[in-house]
Amino acid sequence: MKSLLYEHLVKTAYNTERYGARGKADANVYRDMEHALREVELQKEAIKKGQMPISTKSIEDLEYEARVYIAKVRGNVSAAISEALRNTNLKYSSEEIKQNLKGLQSKLNINEYNKDVIDNVISEVWDIFRENKLA
């Protein structure tokens, strides 16, 4: 569900269809992040329980890959917010709405690797888009 919300948010911001915005508007980008995070979790569980690891990669390598996917989603959402502020009806919105979106965008700083924070930003931005009839 969240992967589709991500896709719709990016498509709305860029006013494009799936695979538009140079591949950013694709739910699979989000699903790749979820998969990488789940792989880290399963690998840690397997090692903790003394079971066969699910991957031949180290936990550090899996965590690095997960951070790469998180950074991609985070960057795409941040870019979508900027695009929406520049090229949609939001540019005619109140200063309060613009500041709210910029505040949400600031939560997506370079050191943010928490999926829950990113999910929360996606949900809140989507709500703003819907309130302003972009979606």
pTM of the predicted model as reported, rounded to 2 decimal places: 0.89
Residue type, 41: E
Amino acid 86: pLDDT: 87
Please say if the pLDDT value at position 18 is more than 90. no
Amino acid 92: pLDDT: 74
CA 35/CA 132 separation, integer angstroms: 33
* C-alpha Rg value of the chain to the nearest Å: 17
Please say if the pLDDT value at position 104 is more than 80. yes
Tokens of 1: 């569900």
Amino acid 62: pLDDT: 96
Amino acid 70: pLDDT: 96
Position 20 confidence tier, pLDDT thresholds 50, 70, 90: low
